Amino acid sequence: MAELSFPLPDLGEGLIEATVLEWLVAVGDHVERNQPIVEVETTKSALELPSPQTGVVLRLGADEGAVVNVGEELIAFAVPDEQAGIIGVVPEEKKAKRRVRLSAPVED
């Protein structure tokens, strides 16, 4: 088993922190990908964050009522070693081939 840390993601609109309102999981719980794991509140709204991973909760990064900054650990999971890599695939950018046509200068 490998350990995978999940930081508080950028919630958009220049928000740099969120307050943990309620944990919906506990240490030792098995969670599925996209299962709601925590409810957080920003200066704009309250929302539930889904799990980015299927695994077992190893630790919660903050107590209820605590403020977590974007990028700080929110939760950590134990996942099978083969799932510890990148989630998803980053598509390769395909650039169009440029053709350059050279022509001789026109003489008058």
Domain membership flag for residue 97: no
Among 12-16, 49-53, 73-77, 95-99, which is the least confidently predicted range? 95-99
Domain membership flag for residue 89: no
What 96-103 contacts at long range (C-beta under 8 Å, 24+ apart), as own/partner pairs, is none
**7 or 80, which is more confident:** 7
Domain membership flag for residue 10: yes
| Tens of pLDDT, residues 24-83 | 999 999 999 999 999 999 888 899 999 998 999 999 999 999 999 999 999 999 988 766
Domain membership flag for residue 106: no
Provide the CATH number for the domain around residue 27.
2.40.50.100
Say how many domains are in the chain: 1
CA–CA gap between residue 78 and residue 4 (Å, rounded): 6
The domain in which residue 15 lies consists of 2-83
- pLDDT confidence of residue 95: 61
Largest CA distance in the chain: 84
